[in-house]
Structure 1
Amino acid sequence: MKGLLHSLFILAPIWSFSQSKTSVDSMSFHFEFNSHEINFQNKHNSETRTKLSKLKNQSLILRAYTDSIGTREYNIKLAQARLEATKKFLDKWYPNQFSIKTEVAIGEDLSQKSDAEKRRVDILVSPGSKTNPGELIAKKKRTFELNVPIQLKIQFVYGRDEVLKSSYEDIQFLIETLKDDPTLHVVLAGHVCCGTDGKNLSGMRADRIKQILVMEGNISGSRINAVGFGNKKPLFVEDSEEHRQANRRVEATFYKK
């Protein structure tokens, strides 16, 4: 079947998919095992409270995680309880100071963090949040052809499946494309460079993108196939850092059944 050319404006909400180190616009509440109580004897939580007290009239993004222990259903419920505890804290101690732009109980954190680091709620300040929280910014057009892979500008923390905030435009491109045409399906193919992929990092990265599309884009997981190819399909001979970087990628192929 001949591919059809599609195009659309990417409407990228001002959010961040980064889960990187804590900063003034990225904070976290950490939790004890199997708990959703916020303990301020924890140094991280005390630092986060101090940072929150210095912010005013901001729109926040909340993402709740658990460790790798327990069933998926249980971890979703625990993440939701941690999310609610965080919202109650904000309402009690900072009334009318923050608005919640996006909140999601993700459950198990699939990254390479320790279990202690995974038990948390990330609190991110939405860039541009002093404007209308629902405001969308029009981005440049992006085209694709059915059954033809396109390379996504999605970047990760080195050696991990943690998505960097610079990737939000292409992640939103995937969400908007799939929402625009409910008959579309997509294959997300992860690739790495340099040696074997014994930990299946390529597959973990593809699956991380799928998780974001499902949890934050409300796209049905049945429409997304995430696969990892390791270093079996390089674009270039790895004779320079530029070529190695190009080989580390995620590709998307849209198709219809």
Structure 2
Amino acid sequence: MKGLLHSLFILAPIFTFAQVSASSDSMSLYFEFNSHEISFQNKHNSDTKAKLSKIKNQSLVLRAYTDSTGAKEYNIQLAEARLEATKKFLNESYPGQFSIRTEIALGEDLSKRSDAEKRRVDILFSTSNTTKSSSGKRKSFELGVPIQLEIQFIYGTDEVIKSSYVDIQFLMETLRADPSLNVTLAGHVCCGTDSQNLSGKRAERIKQILVMEGNISGSRITAIGFGNRKPLFVEDSEAHKQANRRVEATFYKK
């Protein structure tokens, strides 16, 4: 399984996303305790397999979860392994039939579902929607798809630079507009490790701002750091290194 580090920094904002809802336009694959193997002896999984065979040319969003057992970091790793198993199944069983737009390992499902229902990967179909910010500009987003935000900090600290509040305000307004939305704040760095867990501290600082200043329930916000494990670019230039240092926000519904 994949290891995990913790970090957080900056990237210019990108706001072109579509919204996906977990409704009739979604289905799930379920897993046994502490496993990432897909068993089709499970009736839910066999039904999902049958449904997928009837669907053509869909763009998919994958969201992976675990139950409430285990440490946070381990659950992220297990969710990532379940994502990989799901992608392998889709690519091998339905070659060329689906395009995977994005994927996210959310780890522990904090909902009131049973543990058996939490051990799953949701497969969602993309449909577009938009929202408005206080500036009047329309922004669209997609559940399960990371939004790359311009969140900047004073060097070596978790103190947010005031110019970053434009995107923090966007997060507040989006969460206020739809109380069923939750958000994962994820951070990434380049060029080494995050031994001081600055990424975790920075993610928690953004969460604190949303809670204290935005009056958003902390139960709706998850803060995670990914270190340098998920770069957008090969780090062969300063511009690419800068791009890999980023904050991402991913909206989802339980």
Normalised by the length of structure 2, the TM-score is: 0.54
* Alignment match, 1:193: none
Point out where structure 2 has 5 or more consecutive residues left out of the alignment. Answer: 1-12, 154-160, 173-178, 188-198, 221-254
Superposition map of 1:160-175 within 5 A: 175=147
What one-letter code is carried by the residue in structure 1 that aligns with 2:105?
A
Q: Does 1:179 align with 2:161?
A: no
Q: Distance in 2 between matches of 1:112 and 1:12?
A: 32
CA distance 1:207–1:96, change in 2 (3 Å): closer
CA distance 1:49–1:118, change in 2 (3 Å): same
What one-letter code is carried by the residue in structure 2 that aligns with 1:59?
S
What one-letter code is carried by the residue in structure 2 that aligns with 1:224?
I
Q: How many residues align?
A: 171
* Alignment match, 1:112: 112
Give 1:10 deviation, angstroms.
Answer: 8.3
Q: Distance in 2 between matches of 1:207 and 1:62?
A: 17
* Alignment match, 2:26: 26
Q: Secondary structure at the match of 1:79?
A: helix
CA distance 1:181–1:175, change in 2 (3 Å): farther
- Are the equivalent residues in 2 in contact too, given 1:15–1:61 (CA < 8 A)? no
Superposition map of 1:52-67 within 5 A: 52-67=52-67
Q: Does 1:99 align with 2:99?
A: yes
Q: Distance in 2 between matches of 1:27 and 1:171?
A: 15
Superposition map of 1:37-186 within 5 A: 37-127=37-127, 140=132, 142-143=134-135, 175=147, 178-179=149-150, 183=161, 184=164, 186=168
Q: Distance in 2 between matches of 1:170 and 1:93?
A: 26
Normalised by the length of structure 1, the TM-score is: 0.54
The share of aligned pairs that are identical, in percent, is 53
Q: Secondary structure at the match of 1:39?
A: coil
Point out which structure has higher relative CO (alpha carbons under 8 A, 6+ apart). 2
Give 1:84 deviation, angstroms.
Answer: 0.5
- Are the equivalent residues in 2 in contact too, given 1:10–1:139 (CA < 8 A)? no
Q: Distance in 1 between matches of 2:98 and 2:17?
A: 18
- Are the equivalent residues in 2 in contact too, given 1:10–1:140 (CA < 8 A)? no
Q: Any idea what the Cα deviations from partners look like across 1:66-91, whole Å, max 9, x if unmatched?
A: 00100111111110111011011011
Q: Please give the root-mean-square deviation of Cα atoms over the aligned residues, in Å.
A: 4.2
Q: Distance in 1 between matches of 2:28 and 2:59?
A: 15
CA distance 1:71–1:79, change in 2 (3 Å): same
CA distance 1:224–1:90, change in 2 (3 Å): same
Give 1:47 deviation, angstroms.
Answer: 1.3
Q: Any idea what the Cα deviations from partners look like across 1:24-67, whole Å, max 9, x if unmatched?
A: x2010001111111111112111111111011111110010000
CA distance 1:138–1:117, change in 2 (3 Å): closer
Q: Secondary structure at the match of 1:103?
A: strand
Q: Distance in 2 between matches of 1:40 and 1:170?
A: 29
Give 1:143 deviation, angstroms.
Answer: 2.3
What one-letter code is carried by the residue in structure 2 that aligns with 1:225?
K
Give 1:181 deviation, angstroms.
Answer: 6.5
Q: Any idea what the Cα deviations from partners look like across 1:185-243, whole Å, max 9, x if unmatched?
A: 54888xxxxxxxxxxxxxxx79942x2x438xx995144124769xxx9xxxxxxxxxx
Q: Distance in 1 between matches of 2:205 and 2:39?
A: 40
Q: Secondary structure at the match of 2:112?
A: coil
CA distance 1:141–1:10, change in 2 (3 Å): farther
Q: Distance in 1 between matches of 2:17 and 2:62?
A: 15
CA distance 1:208–1:67, change in 2 (3 Å): same
Q: Secondary structure at the match of 2:48?
A: helix
Please say which structure displays the higher CA radius of gyration: 1
* Alignment match, 2:18: 14
CA distance 1:126–1:37, change in 2 (3 Å): same
Q: Distance in 1 between matches of 2:48 and 2:18?
A: 22
Q: Distance in 1 between matches of 2:62 and 2:49?
A: 15
